[in-house]
Structure 1
Amino acid sequence: MSQVKANDTVKVHYTGKLTNGQVFDSSLEREPLEFTLGKGMLIPGFENGILDMKVNEKKTIEIPAEQAYGDTREELIQEVPMSELPEEIKPEVGMQLISKAPDGREIPLMVSEVKEESIMVDANHPLAGKDLIFDVEVIEIL
């Protein structure tokens, strides 16, 4: 029986959890995730974790933050004066905002704190700084 190896295209079902057991994503209610290893499409710890797995094999992969979305970077947390926000926006903690970079790229931000005259926004990935656990099943090696 073949095993997953570098550069294979595979289909997997997964459930991603935080170390406290909170589920943040799952493919179980939809189509399996299809991807090619080595293309940088997924976090390194996930790709490394499924290497050598066989079709129908199930496994739990524990991924430290540095093999997932990295550590939280303080330089990606900034204070923005309320005067710079569009009038129609009433910021709340957890609200998602989009900022446009000078080169036109869109940068997703999350409001992490609301102060009287400003807000704190965080451009880190929501899972940055977190260790992750994935329950994975290889469905198919293409």
Structure 2
Amino acid sequence: MKELPIDSGTRVKLHFALKFEDGETVDTTFDKEPATLEMGDESLPENFEAFLVGLKAGDHETFSVPPEKAFGQHNPNNIQTFKRHEFSADMVLEPGVVVSFADARQQELPGVIKRVEGDVVDVDFNHPLAGHTLIFEVQIIDVEPAGPTH
């Protein structure tokens, strides 16, 4: 087994789990194929990658990630109010429904409907994991130099 520590320029094969503090699983690979990522390829947020640096194949660690290092605090300014007629007439508008908007740069921006009252629709553009401390569990399977894949 190689002893290469994870750093920029490495490809990592790992199992991971992301959970809420109460143990509810947000995402996991432990029950399926492991994930492979190249450090810096943005498949993991930078703050989560930082926890991996220095780990080696065989390591199994669990980290508690506060909101500031995860998806930020919940920001009340990210809740926007729209009028019902601004949505297509056949669109289901009820709390919990995710609606996709385009931001100023025409990038897709998902919002979650929080409240529908009369002609008023409140949409929350905070990341769904904002404001949560998350448990990040990783099991490193392999670390190799990132290079061209053959």
> What is the TM-score of this pair, normalised by structure 2?
0.85
Q: Which secondary structure does the structure 2 equivalent of 1:31 belong to?
A: coil
Per-residue deviation, residues 30-63 of structure 1 (Å, max 9, x unmatched): 3222222234432233212122212121110111
Counterpart of 2:7?
5
Q: Give structure 1 stretches of 5+ with no counterpart.
A: none
Q: Closer, same or farther in 2 for the Cα pair 1:6/1:105, shift >3 Å?
A: closer
Displacement of 1:77 in angstroms is: 0.9
Give 1:113's aligned amino acid: R
Counterpart of 1:25?
27
Counterpart of 1:126?
128
Total equivalences in the alignment: 142
> What is the TM-score of this pair, normalised by structure 1?
0.90
Give 1:2's aligned amino acid: L
Q: Distance in 2 between the 1:82 and 1:120 partners?
A: 10
Q: Which secondary structure does the structure 2 equivalent of 1:34 belong to?
A: strand
> Following superposition of structure 1 onto structure 2, how do residues 31-50 of structure 1 map, counting pairs within 5 Å?
31-50=33-52
Give 1:134's aligned amino acid: F
Decide which of 98, 101, 108 is 1:99's aligned counterpart.
101
> Following superposition of structure 1 onto structure 2, how do residues 83-94 of structure 1 map, counting pairs within 5 Å?
83-94=85-96
Q: Distance in 1 between the 2:141 and 2:56 partners?
A: 9
RMSD: 1.6
> Following superposition of structure 1 onto structure 2, how do residues 57-76 of structure 1 map, counting pairs within 5 Å?
57-76=59-78
Q: Distance in 2 between the 1:68 and 1:39 partners?
A: 17
Q: Give structure 2 stretches of 5+ with no counterpart.
A: 145-150
Moved over 6 A (4+): none
Give 1:71's aligned amino acid: Q
Q: Distance in 1 between the 2:86 and 2:45 partners?
A: 34
Q: Distance in 2 between the 1:102 and 1:13 partners?
A: 36
Q: Distance in 1 between the 2:43 and 2:17 partners?
A: 17
Given that 1:7 and 1:37 are in contact with CA atoms closer than 8 Å, whether structure 2 keeps it comes out as yes
Displacement of 1:13 in angstroms is: 0.3
Given that 1:99 and 1:108 are in contact with CA atoms closer than 8 Å, whether structure 2 keeps it comes out as yes
Q: Which secondary structure does the structure 1 equivalent of 2:114 belong to?
A: strand
